[in-house]
């Protein structure tokens, strides 16, 4: 396929566009659908639905979570690209399936403008082999493309631009959660892997667990479909608490299971941050972003308290009253701590403009 990825050049649109003033960004995540129109000055306006679009949209950028081994760079969507995206749904069913539905709906609503797929995995293409390679037989790795791809790349790229330090760790904490090591602006390791299931606990996803536990469940009659559903939809904070995967609800609860859920969650995230200091050789700054990262002072405080040995120290008042974008570390903190608003829409719109009008 003449798309991007695999080291090949990106597909270029053959369009004569003098300007791309307004780009509609369709961001279909695992827990939400966000529509926004981003102008040439990177100002964005939220749109409630495709039926409520303002006039003058020049292009559409679609955030697609998993590009597999086929797609790394942005690509102009046509029938062959959409067919390949459908094939990749099994790698990220909670994400790619909604993305394809969004593509179909937006192409029907805006058939005359170009549509571009922008991939979350692209930012992590710089991860070195030592971090990307699983210790599996070569046949598994080569025949099935089993490797660490990484996700939340658009969000991490934005955070790295906003906090341009040499050694950065980004905590994207939302419905899905990941922790990424960024060295000189390039991803060098991340907690999510072949799929968005790996890594730290999330709202309803388990994160990393012993594969032997899964074998045990299958041997005792749990089907692979039931297991996949449980790992994707009934685990993480929801599984630990026995109910909600919403951090806000857990923070308001006095139930032991709710407290345990938050303890496990923040413990694992702090451990991931400490681990990500290895590939970057230390830590200059720590970023919290996305829904939980931006809105839960308690989660930020719990994580940072576990990282005091690395020189992380919050300013309690700044953290409690934080509005993005802001630095919330104390004056004595050896590691700068920031809370940054996620702007995946801006990164996606820029990528679409660069593809369609590379001047």
The encoded tokens of residue 220 equal 């005792």
**CA–CA distance, 236 with 315 (Å, rounded to integer):** 29
Q: Is 120 a catalytic residue?
A: yes
Q: Cα dihedral sign for 96, 98, 104, 109?
A: negative
**CA–CA distance, 267 with 106 (Å, rounded to integer):** 40
Q: Which of 58, 73, 120, 345 is catalytic?
A: 120
- Positions annotated as catalytic residues are 120
């Amino acid at each position: 396929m003449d798309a991007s990825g695999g080291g090949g050049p990106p597909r270029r649109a053959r369009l004569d566009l003098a300007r791309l003033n307004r780009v509609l960004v369709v961001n279909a995540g695992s827990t939400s659908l966000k529509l926004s129109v981003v102008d040439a000055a990177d100002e964005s306006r939220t749109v409630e639905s495709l039926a409520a679009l303002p006039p003058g949209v020049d292009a559409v950028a679609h955030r697609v979570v998993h590009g597999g081994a086929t797609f790394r760079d942005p690509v102009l969507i046509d029938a062959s690209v959409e067919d390949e995206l459908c094939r990749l749904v099994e790698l990220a069913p909670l994400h790619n399936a909604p993305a394809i539905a969004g593509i179909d709906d937006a192409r029907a609503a805006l058939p005359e403008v170009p549509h571009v797929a922008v991939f979350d995995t692209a930012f992590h293409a710089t991860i070195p082999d030592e971090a990307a390679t699983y210790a599996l037989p070569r046949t598994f790795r080569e025949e099935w493309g089993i490797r660490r791809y990484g996700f939340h790349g658009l969000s991490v790229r934005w955070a790295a631009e906003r906090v341009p330090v040499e050694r950065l760790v980004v905590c994207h904490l939302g419905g899905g959660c990941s922790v990424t090591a960024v060295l000189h602006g390039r991803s060098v390791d991340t907690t999510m892997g072949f799929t968005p299931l790996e890594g730290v606990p999330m709202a309803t996803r388990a994160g990393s667990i012993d594969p032997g536990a899964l074998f045990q469940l299958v041997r005792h009659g749990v089907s692979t479909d039931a297991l996949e559903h449980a790992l994707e939809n009934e685990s993480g904070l929801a599984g630990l608490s026995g109910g909600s995967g919403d951090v806000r609800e857990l923070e308001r609860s006095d139930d032991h299971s709710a407290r345990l859920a938050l303890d496990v969650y923040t413990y694992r995230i702090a451990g991931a941050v400490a681990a990500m200091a290895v590939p970057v050789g230390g830590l200059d700054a720590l970023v919290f972003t996305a829904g939980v990262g931006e809105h839960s002072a308690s989660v930020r405080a719990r994580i940072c308290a576990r990282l005091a040995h690395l020189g992380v120290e919050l300013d309690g008042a700044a953290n409690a009253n934080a509005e993005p974008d802001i630095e919330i570390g104390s004056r004595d903190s050896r590691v700068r701590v920031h809370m940054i608003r996620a702007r995946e829409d801006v990164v996606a719109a820029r990528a679409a403009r660069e593809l369609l009008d590379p001047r």
